[in-house]
A and B are shown apart, each in its own frame.
Chain A
Amino acid sequence: MDTTPFIVLSAILFSIGAVGVLVRRNAIVIFMCVELMLNAGNLALITFARANGDLDGQIAAFFVMVVAAAEVVVGLAIIMTIFRTRRSASVDDASLLKY
């Protein structure tokens, strides 16, 4: 099995996630794009694990998943708190420091 197509796919997904973080305005969608980038990283890790013939890459991907779960829990709680006070989940609305 070839390694390069997997890595290129991983690079494409990572770039799309990065553009999404820059372009989207809804904080939840931005979060989803971050998840997409983490997933793209996982794909690269697992591909390299197969190419190298040991399981370290898979372990790393496993830890990435655990950290992503923790990050989502805290991040979504923060978004909820902001939404409760601001009635909006748009990142453009939280611009108080500007004024």
Chain B
Amino acid sequence: MIAFWILAPVMVVCALGILVVRKAVHCALLLAVVMISLAVLYAVQDAPFLFAVQIIVYTGAILMLFLFVLMLVGVDASDSLVETIRGQRAVAAAMGLAFLVLLTLGVAQVSVGVDQGLEQANEGGNVPAIARVLFTRYVLAFEVTSALLITAALGAMVLAHRERLTPKPNQADWAAQRMRDFAERGTHLGPLPPPGTFARHNAVDTPALLPDGSTAPGSVPRALAARGTVRTAPAHEIDVISHEIGADAPVGPMGGLPAPPAEGPVQSDEWPGSVRPLPDGSEPEGHPVKGNKVSGLFHEPGGRWYAQTRAEVWFDSADSAEAAGFTRAGSRSGTTTKED
């Protein structure tokens, strides 16, 4: 009974968590806690066989299957908070509560009589006792179960099977396709340029430089560009130099030359309503929107990638960023789609 009073609140809290947590993966983990606690309650109630089955089948097989499918569908998939039917959530909660009260009242009024206990039935071990009942009185149901399992396995295979409609391209096909793209559309024939090789920490987020000093657009992974975490090569150079001189020294955009003393935001001449970043990278006053020149995205405060983004230009509002030709970050991909 001690195990019950410890585990019951945990289970109820975790089950309620499944209702409110937004990410499906967290739901699966909370469900795992509930199922393992249930297994312990089975063990407490003289059902060691079902304790093992609960752990192996439910937490081992079924929950892993859930997690597999979640990984396939996209771990980021989370519920939208928009109600399609107005007031549905409140009504569902009220109905659930009413149902719970009804069920509890009904169940609590039933007298189960004297608790018999399973000592007699479990004589000689729980597993042999279950086997004796299962293979005598319930043998037909057991056989039908095997038919059910085979049908389920077949059904899953049929549903998950995908006909290949076109032949699988081999390497020669890929090469021919590449040549065709080059001839028809002028697509670059060789491999994409690698990211910058002079980066200090993670080279992948720094684009390569073309001979004229501009950045090569294909050299950073598309996913990074979409998130807006790409660093520009000049910004990185300043980084290295300021690191060598000492973090406090203000450094201008031209390398080692000290910048003119910064008094307030420096008006950028590029777009109206935009300012250059301050030497220490912090937010210029009144310009909270971050812009990323490489990816062409802007990030508003509170956005998903806002904190990671290194601003090359700061805008005073989302409107002026849009006027400058920047796109709102995250507007390209929906909530349930995966990148790539």
Contact = CB atoms under 8 A, between A and B. Distances in A.
Given A26-B79, A53-B121, A87-B336, A73 B152 contact: yes
Interface in B16-45: 16, 18-19, 24, 27-28, 31, 34-35, 38, 41-42, 44-45
A73 B133 contact: no
Contact of A69 (B42, B61, B112): B61
Given A36-B15, A59-B138, A89-B336, A15 B103 contact: yes
Given A39-B34, A53-B120, A88-B336, A11 B148 contact: no
Interface in B114-135: 115-118, 120-122, 129-130, 133-134
Interface string B6-19: 00100110011011
B45 A62 contact: no
Contacts of B19: 16, 19-20, 23-24
Contacts of A3: 112, 115
Interface stretch (B70-78, B179-187, B284-292, B301-309): B70-78
B141 interface: yes
Contact of B50 (A11, A29, A61): A61
B259 interface: no
A62 B128 CA distance: 15
Interface residues of A, number: 73
Contacts of A66: 145, 148-149
Given A58-B49, A80-B160, A5 B8 contact: yes
Give the interface SS of chain B, mostly helix, strand, loop or mixed.
helix
Interface string A33-57: 1011001001100111111111110
Given A49-B118, A58-B50, A5 B141 contact: no
B66 A31 contact: yes
A11 B115 contact: no
A44 B103 CA distance: 12
B159 interface: yes
B4 A6 contact: yes
B18 A32 contact: yes
Given A2-B1, A9-B8, A77-B159, A50 B116 contact: yes
19 contacts: A1-B1, A11-B100, A12-B100, A15-B99, A19-B93, A22-B92, A26-B78, A26-B79, A32-B31, A36-B34, A51-B115, A59-B138, A65-B50, A65-B57, A69-B61, A74-B156, A77-B155, A77-B156, A90-B79
Interface of B: 1, 4, 8, 11-12, 15-16, 18-19, 24, 27-28, 31, 34-35, 38, 41-42, 44-47, 49-50, 53-54, 57-58, 61-62, 65-66, 69-70, 72-73, 77-80, 84, 88-89, 92-93, 95-97, 99-100, 103-104, 107-108, 112-113, 115-118, 120-122, 129-130, 133-134, 138, 141, 145, 148-149, 151-153, 155-156, 159-160, 162, 336-337
